[in-house]
Amino acid sequence: MRRYLTEDQLKSNLRLGRSVEQWLGSAEEDDYMILKWLRIDKERDESFSVTYFESFDEGSEELLDIYEFSLVDPDEPFGVINTFSSIADALEFAMVTYNASNDKYVSSGMIQEEYRDYINR
């Protein structure tokens, strides 16, 4: 089974209002790891939001629910959100700002599989 969405699937999911996500990696700080990922959603007003998350790595093979991990910045409890009028603009922003790749998006909820791969490497 193919995990990553093709570019057509990516754009189709977003047009239909299905969120997509991308694992962006991790960063080691003094004595902890920070996990990075983003989500793109279609909003009620037909705009598209790019939400960037940084959380503490609080997981394990038994705890893969990255959504439950504590976010690094308490002033951004819902992540850092930027909104765009088109899918193309949202994808371009994600690519330029967060080094996202259009061939590494997964369907919403699949980010746990990306995290599992990360902890098992």
Residue with token string 């007003």:
45
Domain contains 36: yes
Report the C-alpha gap between 70 and 97 in whole angstroms. Answer: 23
1 found inside a domain: no
Greater confidence (1 vs 70) lies with 70
5, 21 contact by CB (below 8 A): no
Yes or no: say if 17 and 2 are a contact pair by the CB < 8 Å rule.
no
In a domain, 105, yes or no: yes
pLDDT digits (tens, 9 = 90+) for 17-29: 999 999 999 999 8
The pTM for the full model equals: 0.93
pLDDT confidence of residue 1: 60
pLDDT for res 48:
98
At 45, is the pLDDT very low, low, confident or very high (cuts 50, 70, 90)?
A: very high
**Number of independent structural domains in the chain:** 1
Calculate the average pLDDT of the chain.
94
Q: Is 94 within the bounds of a domain?
A: yes
> Is residue 86 included in any domain, yes or no?
yes
Question: What range defines the domain where residue 104 resides?
Answer: 7-120
Is residue 60 included in any domain, yes or no?
yes
